[in-house]
Structure 1
Amino acid sequence: MKDDSPDGPELTLTLDEDARVLIAALGHDPHFPSIQATWLRDRLAAAGYQALRIRPDAIRGLIAQYNAGRPVEATAIADVVDGSLQITVPADGLTAMLSIFPPQGGNPVTSAMLLDEISARGITEGILVPEINRAIGTGEACELVIARGREPVAGEDGRLECLLPEARDRVPNIRPSGRTDYRDLGDILVVRQGDALMRRHPPTGGTEGLSVLGRPLAPRPGKETRFPAGLRGTSVSPDDPDLLIAACDGQPVRMRGGIVVEPILTLKSVDMSTGNISFDGNVKVLDDVTAGMTVRATGDIEIGGTVEPATLEAGGSIVVKGGVMGALGSKTAGKDDAAHGIRCGGSFSATYIQQARVDAGDSIFIDDVAMQCELTAANHIRVGNHRRGHIIGGVVRASLSIQARVIGGANRVRTELEIGSSPALAQAMHQKIEERDQKENQLLEVGKLLTLADRNPGRVPPDVVARAEQTAATLAAEIEVLRNDEADLRYCLDLALQARVDAEREIHDGVTITLGEQKLRITQQFGPSTVRLAEWGLGVFPLVEDKGRG
């Protein structure tokens, strides 16, 4: 094809069908001493060759030669290129992806070409026909999924099932809503030797998958789980290695990842005839604890009657079916601050309490009246269930909430309430962080030893490597527990900012409420009210009943 356009030199374009190239020849015209690439592109477009794949170096050479004043002999400047396709299958074999490259002056990709390539690649499973047709129709595709295999389903990890849903949990229960759980007033659950406690369910193997090439894909099997070592009062059944049973009579208590059975010491009463009690397990007193006596237990304490001015200390919870009479305000109370105190790591429950000091690691539940007491709870204090629900006088502290039907007295009894996080909570958080940092540093040192052993086989004795691996596993598990404890404490500290005091019927003049640096003195009687932190400080607001609260 000869181009005799008046705005340029004579250009001859010839398409070589066999070689599939476009040949250009250009005679020199003194009226047009130079040409540009745009002029040449326009000429190619006018001749219908704009779709061909241009050879940039050939174009530059042609222009340079002409602008140097020399005619251009036959030069290949473009190629006729057919459309092409590429199918890739990732290493996991779960997909096949198609890329279609459009033709440049040549023939487009056809369905037959694509099906031939699919067959040649051995792709037989999960072919997506609609996607293939759509790609052929548009003539373009970029890593389009045209076949999808069946992904293997990983096996489920082994798990431990508690067979005693009523077993108490020794881990503090952080309840942001303040809901009262009066199940804490129930009897201690007792199991007998040989009773089933937990069942170990083995992991599953998972479900096999299938690649797009028709090859089976092995699933990841679930991880094995075991009964934790050192679960006191338990053993694995001799007839069933997946069953944990009680090795003695006692109370089942949930721990992290397992259950322990704590032995129970049952007494009719605690008085001068029995002497003070200190027991590694749970203590159940059927009647009363008389004045001056001490009962200490690593587990729970249950008192069926009343408690006179005495000392109760429990690692778990304390339940008093009757009431507690302390000695705060008496002539002897100031001699020993620890005297006649009640302390527990879990929750404390009683029908009524008067002039007593109670420190609970979780919550305090009083059914009737708390009068002139010093009550401290890590989470909640709730006074009132079936009975009056009065807090009259004394000092009451809780990190998250204090609830009662009536707070204070009609004769302006001095009643102090403190809500929000306690220094002990912040200190516990700091201690957990320090302990975790120490263990992470130890794990780092052990990791260095294992890395050395891995890079230098034979340099570290095998027994040293085995001990190091065991130590690393133990440290990793302990760090995970500490991280969980930190998360619980941080959650509790955040909730403390939302702490509140709820008076379901009335709150009287003479009550003082403190949250951190904020202090509010009640100078008049209010009906159903809630005291919480607002933008300006502590404020009294109408109590909105929450149907979800107990």
Structure 2
Amino acid sequence: MCDIKLTLESEGKDLLMTITPVEGQPKANIKKLQTAFKLSEYSAFLLIDGAMALLLEEVAKANENDEKKENSGTSLIIAHAVDASLTVTIGPENMSVTLELTAGYGGKQIKNANVIEILKENNITKGIIKENLINIVKDGIHLQSGKSITTEIARGKASTSGKDGYIKYLVDDPADRIMCPKKLDNGNVDMRELGDLIHVKTGRKLAKLIPPTAGVNGFDVLGTITDAVSGEMSVLEESDGSSFSDENNNILIATIDGMPKHLDNSVTVNTLLEVENIDVGTGNIRFDGSIYVKGNVCEGMELSASEDIVIGGIVESASIAAGGNISIALGIIGRQVYEDNHLENNTVLQAEGDVSAQFVQYADIFAKNDIKVTQYISHSQIIVEGDLWVGNIANEKADGKVFGTSVLAGGSVRVGTLGSRCGAMTNLNLNYWVNTAEELKISASEKADKIMRRLPRIYKLLRKANNLKDENTQQIDRINQALQQHLNLLGKLNKNWLDKESTINKHLETFELSVYKSILSGVNIEVSNKTCAFKRDHEAAQVKWLENKISVEPIVN
């Protein structure tokens, strides 16, 4: 058999294989060469593809050209040692570093010092994850040649923005308490218990301004500090019936006895009239301030206030008007009566703010802001400039019912069930802003026509006055002033119309009608110039205005 010898060259990096023929012994072949390599101490070296085949060709050529038939060896490098390697990848904005370790072929292993060195070379100084550094070196020792492992070895820290300042209200709002009646020890709720914080005394703390926080600075893996953004300052303001108690304007206190009401940046305290019931004994009441009715508003009575009205019982066939919110702990019960040979609801509520109640039946309600009803609305006329919610306010999804009712809404509507199985028609019209704009357009057009008819006469008077002597300067000033007033009014009318047009477009893009349980047959929905009539029952659905048409999409629970 031929002699096969393996030796190292180039400082131990290259593996040289030498084949020396032995007279009378079999010639070398690929299998013998591979076996010799695998059984050697250099078997972990990276074998050069085709090197053994080339070596055999060189041996064959040497044998043919050797005339003296002397036994001489033929050598060729067939493999070389490859050290394990490290590759660093720095993530976006220098916020992370990953390290890839690739196992070598019989070369040097990666040591902790190698990892530290590559960190220094790449200027990685912050957020180093020491445990991951140690583990990747340990795992690399047992890694198969040529295989790689990757781990995150450093991580930056994003700056944390400060929290915005806010107003912490120190008294409850009666409108909120109405919708959250007191829970009794037996688990039931007392719908008439409105709590003890509806009335405040002079000097009572109403709200506190909580300052913003500064936030926490961050850093990237290269050690660069990223400054935190401080939270925004909130503003606490004095209002009617309240003022600051300190020079820092951080605490708001009541300056009069009365009913508190939360505002966006303040708490107002309104003069409070407190009565047991509104009935024939009290007569109709009109009050400049807020009214708290502990009990009921009885049939045929009228109640109005310049501010909020809070009612602890029910409203029965009455008329109520408020310059603020109307909050009713129980419900609204009306009935239909004949007026001018047609049926009308004899219960009317008008609020410049919100209206809230447990239930509504046979009533006409107008709210400048939102309407929230906990259980149901039946056989009523509802006009709401803001949003309508029918259901338990503690739930994420509305679960109340609306049936036999006409609703004109300027915001979003969320209910549990829309319509009735008894065949009562339910109409939902989302054209509040369209109708309002149309009314404004007609009114503005009439006013603009009057102004345009007056302008030629004003210009004529102005030309005539300018041709007179200087002593008519006062008359010229009065005419100029009248002209300017008319032009300003004309511009204001145009601006109001453009603002309404913008509101209409925004409403169509953003409103949502969400019915979380079912839409029953007999429901009509009108948006812009389109109508959708439901002639069969539908499961939970969401109605939107898309591509100039009404879109009905199922809600997946």
Which protein shows a greater Rg? Answer: 2
